[in-house]
Amino acid sequence: WYHMFDLAQDYVKRGMTAYVEKVQEPEFAARDRGYSFVSHQQEVGTGYFDDVTTVIQGGTSSVTALTGSTEEEQFH
């Protein structure tokens, strides 16, 4: 809870710069140690459900989340 309190206090003063420095940059730095939530769609299973939908639809589906999206190359 303290870190959220600290972030809120700093956010009031510095805006998104506080968020970037206290949350985003440490998350990206932790990627080398196995932290994978910087690729949020990997964690929520979008690719898995796209694959299931494609199988059910016989190889093609117009309702998958990643196909044709700007994120498609990031999550494979």
Asked whether residue 70 is domain-assigned, the answer is no
Average pLDDT over residues 28-55: 74
Asked whether residue 28 is domain-assigned, the answer is yes
Domain count, the chain: 1
The domain of 51 spans 2-56
Asked whether residue 40 is domain-assigned, the answer is yes
Could you give the CA distance from residue 54 to residue 52 in angstroms, rounded to a whole number?
A: 5
Q: What is the pLDDT of residue 10?
A: 97
Asked whether residue 47 is domain-assigned, the answer is yes
Asked whether residue 62 is domain-assigned, the answer is no
Q: What is the pLDDT of residue 21?
A: 96
Average pLDDT over residues 6-31: 95
Asked whether residue 32 is domain-assigned, the answer is yes
Measured from the Cβ of residue 64, the count of other Cβ atoms closer than 10 Å reads 19
Sign of the C-alpha dihedral computed for residues 22, 10, 43 and 64 taken in this order: negative
pLDDT band, very low/low/confident/very high, at 39 (cuts 50, 70, 90): confident
pLDDT at residue 73 above 60?
A: no
Could you give the CA distance from residue 3 to residue 20 in angstroms, rounded to a whole number?
A: 14
Burial readout 21-32 (b: 16 or more C-beta within 10 A, e: otherwise): ebeeeeeeeeee
Asked whether residue 68 is domain-assigned, the answer is no
